[in-house]
Amino acid sequence: MTDFPWLTALTLIPLIGGCVVIGIGARRRNLARGLALTFSLVSLGLAILVWNNFDSTSTELQFVERHLWIPSLGIEYFVGVDGLSLLMILLSAIVVPMAMLASWKMFGDAPHAGPLPVGRGEGRQRPGEGDSGSGYSPPLYYALVLFLQAGLFGTFTALNFFHWFIFWELSLVPAFFLIKLWGGPQRGAAATQFFIYTMVGSVALLLSFLAIYQAVETFDFVRLSELGRSGELASAFSVKLGWYDAFPTKESLALVIFLMALLGFAVKVPLVPFHTWLPLAYAEAPTPVTMLLTGAMSKMGVYGFLRILLPIFPEQVRWVLTPLMWLAVITIVFGGAAAFAQKDLKRTFAYSSINHLGYCLLGVFALAKLIGDDPRLAAEKAAVFNGVLLQMFNHGLTAATVFCFLSFIERRSGGLRGLNEFGGLRAVAPVFCGLMGIALFSSLGLPGLNGFVGEFLIFKGAFPLATWATALSVIGLLVTAVFILTVIQRVFNGPLNAKWRAFGDLTLSERLIVLPAIILMFVLGIYPQLAIGAVNATVVELVAQLKF
């Protein structure tokens, strides 16, 4: 099994698929979307094969492929997976076909899923119509989605910075064009803001690693982690970098290089105050594209914290740990409060995404806490780490499903998505409201659903490690419950708005799109060991590598 280049194939399938689909004529949209879905499902099948053949008891990297690329620069083609990357690969493989299926009627070549009400949302258009990019080729849209998937797979498997950075940037370009060409009325501003923020972060990240390479002459994440844990990396900065005299101490030079890397990942998550690009981008992107942004792309930032920042810069993280903890708390509480203040459903759940990823950051920073040799606290670190990984996967699944339901609402309402524009939909669309309600309760963290497990483990483990930050973060949990229950009350319950009497319930095809995700929410909520069992050996090993 390991002799075959499974990870290379996993990355190449959507890349080749995108190249095939983009060459199809614009009029053959059915062929384009059918082929794109086929390539994404093949990728899903391959990801499941990797999952099934992954040895959950091993702490070593698996499915490793390593080849010299540019030896003179220390650049290798180096890919592999452990429990951390395994979950992210599977998440990406699940979310992309969901988003494609949610896009199935996006270009208006199929019957509408439900009658439109009298009147349209002010300034809103159904995706693919008029100002929202209908003049652009549908095959281009599906090709860009496949290129984005290739970028995700490459990011979650690469273990050499040069190789990894190519895929990190590859995911940015298709996301920009998907927003720019098919987004809402403010798509230009949203795409530009998204591109500028993420590009600034990427430039800072690149400069940081160029400095690292100049100091130690390697881009290998495994080797850099060893140097970071031993303290040799910081020493190499002061010895090898000719411009270190500009800084008063070697510690300040290492801190500057660390902060540049931090900026690159903080923008991607995003960590407040680097979040301002996200609400507009999520609101203006076509809703299936928002599924990709929140379901998979936002996890790239947290993955970077766990795979790169914390192992390579453990000491520097601890130097600024208190400010980082405060930023995590603010991200959690502000994200929840801002979501509660919104009247647009997409903006509500855009801010909700910030709130939920704030829990991951709280867990990441708790992992950096010095605890001495106390084995009990080491066990709490393992709980936090497991919680962060589960939260990344569960939030990606749940948030993508919630936005999928929002795409169904927009399709039936002609683009309306205001919190106060509906009401009483449960009377005419009970299946729709019931299934969407499950996804919302999962986002709320209801026990028995997948959203509860990750948050519980994060709070359980973080409380003895960072008591004050964890206690303050509970406010975010309370606010989240309030705004999600408010959404359920105003959209599903109450008297039926007369103009929604013809609001269609879920069609069979729509039920088939969301049911696998809904089932997985229950499975992971009831039996979280399905995921924890696959990642726990990796977690224990990575926690042991952290200098306590």
Series of mean pLDDT values for 10-residue runs along the chain (548 residues)? 83 94 83 92 95 90 90 87 93 94 72 36 39 64 94 94 91 92 90 92 92 88 88 80 61 86 92 90 92 91 92 90 95 93 92 93 89 76 92 94 93 86 89 94 92 93 92 93 92 86 89 94 94 90 77
Interhelix angle 529-545/83-102, nearest 10 degrees: 140
pLDDT of residue 497: 82
**The tokens of 243 are what?**
């411009």
Spatial contact of 261 and 208, defined as CB atoms under 8 Å apart? yes
Task: Compute the distance between CA of residue 235 and CA of residue 490 in angstroms, rounded to an integer.
Answer: 58
Spatial contact of 295 and 91, defined as CB atoms under 8 Å apart? yes
CA dihedral 37, 43, 48, 49 (to 10 degrees): 130
pLDDT of residue 160: 92
Task: Compute the distance between CA of residue 477 and CA of residue 479 in angstroms, rounded to an integer.
Answer: 6
Task: Compute the distance between CA of residue 416 and CA of residue 471 in angstroms, rounded to an integer.
Answer: 38
Listing DSSP states for 75-123 in one string gives: EEEEEEE-HHHHHHHHHHHHHHHHHHHHTTTTTS-S--SSPPPSS--TT
Please state whether the predicted TM-score (pTM) of the whole model is above 0.75.
yes
Looking up tokens 């939260």 gives 391
Residue 487 DSSP code: H
pLDDT of residue 249: 62
pLDDT of residue 306: 93
**The tokens of 76 are what?**
């290798």
